[in-house]
Structure formats: structure tokens, C-alpha cells
Structure 1
Amino acid sequence: MHNPLVSILIPVYNKASYVAEAIYSCLHQTYPHIEIIIVDDGSTDGSWDIVKNYADRYPDRMKVFRQDNKGACAARNKAFELSSGQYIQYLDADDILAPDKIKHQIKYFEGSGEEDYVVNGRWGRFKTHIHEQIDWGPHPSICKDLAPVEWIIAGHMSQTSCWLTPRYLIEKTGNWDEQLQVNQDGEFFTRVVLNSSRVLFCDQARIYYRSYLQDHSISKRYRKVEAMHSYLQTIFSLEKHLLAREDSPRTRKYLSSRYMQFVYMYYPQAREEVQIALNKVHQFGKPDVTVQGGKALQLIDRLLGWRIALTLRFLLRYRAYALR
């Protein structure tokens, strides 16, 4: 199919300061065959007014929908339901697509939307504006074409908006998990990748990923009890889908390492969940990770073991590591 339609799906919740930039980056894509689907997830800061204003100005290019607050995953699922494109571009409401992002990636496809592979690209982190000096991700180990399992066990993140995905693959993968509070995109795209035949990399396709100050940091979000439970659920999901694709020494070692990272993050709290993760480590074999921290922490780990090292870290930095 020539000139296939690409649906850009944007969940919005209280992003009045940024959503106009995101929409602008979509409207000014050099690939013209797009539709923009925006689901407002119960915003209270004026985001809906901005979104509706754009939709009134570009009725042939935008569809908008408003719902009660259900979370970003529910908003993405609704946006996909409303979309028509053969290819899907997810975009968070505070991030920005480079003007030629879709043009570069769409060339990798035949146009049917029924391909069984996915195309990744580059992301750059910024705080205020995209003209800052930017270090471009992802990690070099995934900046190339890879088989799905190789991509997963490389162990490095991509970003939600980097992907361009055939509709067929998303239908095969299923919905975003609306119960998760953290790592929703990692869990979803792990399933997408493992349902694909290969992961292609487009070096020219770029997106700008907005980075916040410390009070919005990932580490603080992961200190909530509900987030801890969600994080463990994402590793369970990884285990299920990775072993279904390949049950081998290398996938088992990778899973052991992921469970051990969970232990390092939450010990000496969450004793029940930590024990579940340790049981998985024993099931899958020796992990390939060590305690992350300064030289003193790593020395204590080597001399006295990770349990004592992490207990001391918790006692000395209780406010930073306590679950809430």
C-alpha cells in the first residue's frame, strides 16, 4: 500500500504546559499521512481546552476523546481503539517528535500494517528545550538490527515514542496493562518485541524525551508500595513471555539478574516480595549483577555480603529508600 496511514496516539493528563509542543511536532511531520488521536484522561489543568482547540482547527487530522481519570495505559488503549492507521506511533504528551521521525521509519515497511517486525529509533533527553546539548540513546548495544531475544537480554531501555509498530503486531500483543503503575511501556514493548520476528533500528528517527527534576524522579516513584508490586509484576510478565519465546541458559541468566535487581532495590524491606524474587534467583541460577552504589557500598558487599551492605544503606539513607 502506498502512503499508509500512521496513527499518532497521545494520552494526556495535566500536561497543559507541554501538550501544545507535542501536538505541533505531530502536525509538522514531513510524512503527511497521519492522524492524531488524543485521549484526555480527566485533566484538571486546562489540557483539555488546549487539545480541543487544536482539534477544532485541524478536524481532518485530529480526533479527541475525554474520559474520567483511569491512567495512561487505559488512555492508550482507548486511543488505539479509536485509531485507523496501519502503523502506530505512541507519543507521551510532554515529548516531541523530530519532524522527519515518521518519514524515516515508514520506509522500512511495505505499507500493509501486517508486517511482523518493529522499528526502533533514537531518543534524546532534555529538560527545557530541544536545542540543549543532548546525549542520544539508546545504548549502543541495541543501536542495530537484532533478533527479539537478543534485543531483550541486552538489558537496555528504549523509550515509548521511539517505536513505529505495525497494527498487526499490537493486535497480536494485546492491550497495555492498566493495572501497572511503573514500567508500563517496558512491559508492553517487551511483549511487542517478543511477538515480532525482528527488531530493526533506524538511526535517523529521533524523538525528544523530557526529563524532570528530582521530585519526579523514577527512583522516588518506585519507593511506593503499589509501585513495588507493579514492578514485580512486570518481571513476572517478562519471565512468562521470554521463556515462551526461548527457554535457554542465557534467558534464565537474564531473568535471574532481573529478579536480583529487584532484591537489591527493596531489601531489607518488602520481605515477602524479596523472598519471592530470591526464590526465582535460585530457580534460574547465578545472576550477572552486583550491588549498585559507591565504592564503600561495593566494598562492604564484597567483604560482608549484599544483605549487610543493603541494610547499612537503608539505615543511613532511610528517607531515600523507605517504602511509602
Structure 2
Amino acid sequence: MKASGFGSFKAAAAEQGGAESGPLVTVVALCYNHAPFLPEALDSILAQTYPHLEVLLVDDASTDGSAAILRDYAARNPTWQLRLLPENLGNCRAFNLALRESSGEFVIDFATDDVLLPERIAQQVACFQRLEPDYGVVFTDAELIDEASRLVRRHYRRDAAGLHPRPAAGWVFADVLSRYFISTPTMLMRRTTLEQLGGYDETLAYEDFDFWVRAARHWRFYFLDQVTTRKRLHPSSMSRRGYRPNDPFLASTIRVCEKALALCRTPAEQAALAVRLRWELRQAVRWGNFREAQALYQLLRRTRAAGPLDWLLSRYAALRRS
């Protein structure tokens, strides 16, 4: 076990995978102040029924005792590799660091406040093996749990009309522009997809929207209708911090929307992006992010879909800034 770097990780993975029949799957377990949840998360890796795993533990300079727990698990599981980062790099940079030192044909970005159900990796690998090679992502349903691991609800609501939000599959570029429907922690990603994109964009404060946009332009996505993951809801999670004043994630959203506009090829795709921009504009105004609201309106104008209400919101934001 190496606590300061991944070192011989690729060589060890190649040695492990030589006689294996299934593809190697890399689990990048990213931790930042997850001490209360770490044992359940790491035990869920150990409980996987799929045997061909490469596990990288990355602590992003936690301050809550997470490092001691990670050291203990790495010591008890000699094939796991541990890196304790001396300074906080953020999720995108920390993930890319691990990705460069890994070898798996498929990759899971695993936040260590979440939980993998035992059949998760086996089900998704089996699904990928049935799909054509231009599928880059398999995602699934998830259970949302609270800080005490109690079930809150599922990601998708189910009724006689189907699943809500409706999951899209195949070429989903326009879908990921217009709406949220993917439960991020459930994704199994093809390594080739990540490498084509150069990993995550390290200039951003979060990764999923940008990954969906860039990956969906060139790769198909598949929805596997299974619950494979338990996603933790708690006050310090990223999803709970969005849209507050001076929100760093909103600037990243604007940057991703700029990228998305450059990638749009048809009026229908621009219209899908306009749906997203209009929603983000309203949220920005609602939470008092007036400078960002004006930037979103300018992007909305470039889609040729800005309407009178959008203009009024932009004018309101301009007046509040002055």
C-alpha cells in the first residue's frame, strides 16, 4: 500500500488483469471530509460481486479524520492504492490525477459519501458487453438516502405513465442540454470516452454537466432500469450548495453552456439549450446572482430564442446590479 502516490498501479493492474476473463473496472473513490460515511462506502466496494476491480482511494486534503480511515482500509486491502493529497484540488483535478494512473476499461467516479449496491458493477459491465462500441456511458436509477442511510426516495418517480424525469438513451445531446435526468453517481464510463475528452475540465467547479455535454456529442448513452447506487443527501453535498449568492458552480454552468452552444449543429439543439439557459436565468435572478443572470441572457440571445420575459429579467438584473 502506498499512501503518497499510485506508483506501480498500472503495472499491478496489468498483472491482475492478465488472466482475468472480464474487463478491468477502475473505481476512483474520491473523499473530502466523508469520515462519517466512509466505512459504509468502502465496504460497498468490498461487497461487489464483480471481481475484476482496480481501486484508487484519493483523499482531497480532508480535515475530519478521513485519512486515518482510508489508511486502515488500504492496509487491509493490499491491492487498493491510496493517495493523500497535500492540498485540496477539487473533484475534477483529483479525479484526473487518478484517471491518468489507472488502467480499467471502464471507470466509476465514486464519491465516498455514496454507496454501491453489490450487483452494481456486474450489472453495468454485462450491459456494456451487450451494447455497440459507440456507447460511452451506462447510467441507472438510484436510491436517495439521508445522513443516517434511511431511504428518502428514488431518483426516478414511477407511475402509470412511466419514469419521471423521463430517462433518455442513445444520442442524448439535446436531452442533456435541456434537462436533468441522469443520476451522476450511477454512471459507468468507458475509458476511451474519458480519454477522448481529456478527462474532466479542471477549470470548472463541478464535472457532470460538462461531461454529459461533451460526451453526448460523440457517444451514445444507455439507461439500465435498475437501482444500483445509494446517493447521499446531506447539507455539505455539492447539490445542496447551488444557486446561493456568489455560487462558484453557476460560473461553471455558464462556461459549459458556452461550450454547448459551440457544439450545437441544428436549430433543434439550440432550442434545447435555450430551455436550459432560460431555467438558469430564472434561478440566477431568484437567488440574486445578477451579473450571472445577464451573462445567461446574452447566451440565450445567441440561441435566437430570447423572449420578452427573458428581456425583462435581464433588465431587472441590470438595475439590481447598478
Give the Cα separation in 2 of the matches to 1:228 and 1:126.
Answer: 25
Give the Cα separation in 1 of the matches to 2:244 and 2:83.
Answer: 30
Give 1:309 shift. Answer: 8.6
Aligned to 2:279: 261
Aligned to 1:19: 38
In the TM superposition, what are the counterparts of 1:88-107 in structure 2 within 5 Å? 88-107=107-126
Residue 72 (1) aligns with residue 91 (2): yes
Aligned to 1:239: 261
Q: Could you say what secondary structure the match of 2:228 adopts?
A: strand
Give the Cα separation in 2 of the matches to 1:101 and 1:264.
Answer: 37
% identical equivalent positions: 24
Give the Cα separation in 2 of the matches to 1:86 and 1:257.
Answer: 35
Give the Cα separation in 1 of the matches to 2:35 and 2:194.
Answer: 29
Give the Cα separation in 2 of the matches to 1:228 and 1:156.
Answer: 15
Give the Cα separation in 1 of the matches to 2:30 and 2:276.
Answer: 29
Aligned to 2:8: none
Going from structure 1 to structure 2, the CA distance change for 1:307 and 1:192 (only over 3 Å counts) comes to closer
In the TM superposition, what are the counterparts of 1:1-324 in structure 2 within 5 Å? 2-60=21-79, 62-67=80-85, 68-110=87-129, 116-137=135-156, 140=164, 142-143=166-167, 145-153=169-177, 155-181=179-205, 183-196=206-219, 198-213=220-235, 218-219=240-241, 222-224=244-246, 226-241=248-263, 243=264, 247-267=265-285, 271-286=290-305, 306=313
Give the Cα separation in 1 of the matches to 2:236 and 2:104.
Answer: 37
User: Which structure 2 residue ranges, 5 or more long, are not aligned?
Assistant: 1-19, 158-162
Contact 1:3 1:111 in 2 (8 A): no
Contact 1:25 1:99 in 2 (8 A): yes
Give the Cα separation in 2 of the matches to 1:87 and 1:216.
Answer: 25
User: Which structure 1 residue ranges, 5 or more long, are not aligned?
Assistant: 292-300, 315-321
Which string of whole-angstrom CA distances, capped at 9 and with x for unpartnered residues, describes residues 224-244 of structure 1? 254432231122222233x1x
Contact 2:242 2:250 in 1 (8 A): no
TM normalised by structure 2 equals 0.79
Going from structure 1 to structure 2, the CA distance change for 1:189 and 1:19 (only over 3 Å counts) comes to farther
Going from structure 1 to structure 2, the CA distance change for 1:117 and 1:184 (only over 3 Å counts) comes to closer
Aligned to 1:318: none
Which string of whole-angstrom CA distances, capped at 9 and with x for unpartnered residues, describes residues 164-189 of structure 1? 111111111212122222x4222123
Contact 1:120 1:162 in 2 (8 A): yes
Give the Cα separation in 2 of the matches to 1:211 and 1:3.
Answer: 33
Give the Cα separation in 2 of the matches to 1:46 and 1:214.
Answer: 16
Give the Cα separation in 2 of the matches to 1:273 and 1:216.
Answer: 19
Q: Could you say what secondary structure the match of 1:121 adopts?
A: strand
Greater share of strand: 2
TM normalised by structure 1 equals 0.79
